[in-house]
Amino acid sequence: MMKNEGRRMKNMMGCALLAALALAATGCRKDLCYDHVDHAFSVKADVQPDWMQEWENPYDYNKNGEFDLDWEVIWEEQGWARSYDEFRPEVADGIRSIVYTEGTEPDVDNLESDGGILDMTEGAHFILFYNNDTEYIIFDDTDNSATATASTRTRTRSGYQAPRTHEDERTITTPDVLYASYVESYLAEESLTPDGMPVTMFPRTYTYLIRYRFKSGLQYVSQAKGALAGMAEKVYLHDGHTDAEAATLLFDCKVDEKGCTAEVICFGVPNFAYKVNEYTDDPAKLHCVLNLEVQLKNGKRLSFDRDVSAAMRIQPRGGVLVFDDIEISDEDGTEGSGGFDPSVGDWGDEIEVPLPID
């Protein structure tokens, strides 16, 4: 009896060992192991971003094919010294997602620049994406996708005199490069594998390449700064449109042997709809003034203004601006500084940076 009992115990232990080995060999099957996080039914999307790296978007001003200002074509035809592609913005370092669901608070998450897995609850959602690596941009009203906007910080400059028609505009710093995308409707359902979600990250900022050309007196110029009045103060993230609010961009310039240059990032012009590529108000009302302020080597400062409204109407989302025939007289360039010390740094700009208050 004892011998039979011992044999039965050995058989049972052998069966248990074989079962354990079989389980170890087969592993955890996705369609059976529902209590395993990676293999259970869940609501996830695999966000797959594609970055539209454009610094300007052409606009057909007449809408009849007779006029189409395409700077990429013009660039090649005129043989510009620098490549058109040099000015394309870089892909952002990361993406912020905001998932909106009726009746609940928005759910905010962050993804890598090449995308990743986005968790959400089951049901209907709409989703806003924008890059989260900006420094000067301020995001407002993001609790509602329709009102979420991007603006930038106030910037002031000692001695800057706004054109008479733009005296009431806020002076601001140029924004960082901004991308955004909006998924108008997404039905999230439980699945064993994440659903692929291709997302195009569209530009929400554009670049104007500005060249100031001198007819005379360039040799007297020590430093230069610029301003562009009448530009959009903010952009709506979900569809890229701008409203009527205007601001003046303040920016620095580089002085070279041909004049002064600047690369100015902005939200484009006011009253423009990105999706339909058209103005939402009469473009004839658009009024923009380009300014150049120079400090001469003798310490004297001079300011020049040019109405660039016509050029801006046909370049509402980036392009090229030329301010030519600037003249500085020998009298201005050679006269004494009047006691002014050009080494004193009272020409610097001030950028408003809100401090957190606990």
pLDDT at 345: 54
Give one DSSP letter per residue of 299-349, joined into a string: S-EEEEEEE-HHHHHT-BTBEEEEEEEEE--HHHHHS--TT--TTS----E
For residue 115, the 8-state DSSP code is B
State mean pLDDT over 251-277. Answer: 96
State mean pLDDT over 91-111. Answer: 96
pTM of the model as a whole: 0.83
Task: Tell me the pLDDT of the chain averaged across its residues.
Answer: 86
Where in the chain are the domains? Answer: 142-176+205-351
Higher pLDDT residue, 22 or 332?
332
pLDDT at 347: 66
Of 229, 230, 232, nearest in space to 286 by CA? 230
Residues 6+ apart with CB under 8 A from 143: 105, 106
Distance CA 23, CA 88 (A): 55
State mean pLDDT over 310-332. Answer: 95
pLDDT at 17: 45
Strands (E), 174-271: 179-188, 195-203, 206-216, 221-232, 235-236, 246-252, 254-256, 259-266
State whether residue 351 is helix, strand or coil: strand
pLDDT at 343: 46
- pLDDT per position as a tens digit, 141-169: 999 999 999 999 999 998 899 999 999 99
Distance CA 299, CA 171 (A): 24
State whether residue 101 is helix, strand or coil: coil
For residue 297, the 8-state DSSP code is T
Q: How far is CA 269 from CA 57, 61, 358, in A?
A: 12, 14, 37
Give one DSSP letter per residue of 66-112, joined into a string: S--B-HHHHHHHHT-SS-GGGGSPPPPSEEEEEEE-TTS--EEEEEE
Looking at residue 309, its amino acid is S
Residue 6 has pLDDT above 70, yes or no: no
- pLDDT per position as a tens digit, 334-349: 987 544 444 445 666 7
Higher pLDDT residue, 5 or 350?
350
pLDDT at 70: 85
Residue 327 has pLDDT above 60, yes or no: yes
State whether residue 26 is helix, strand or coil: helix
- Residue 125 near residue 100, CB atoms below 8 Å: yes
pLDDT at 22: 46
Distance CA 86, CA 89 (A): 8
Higher pLDDT residue, 263 or 35?
263
pLDDT at 66: 57
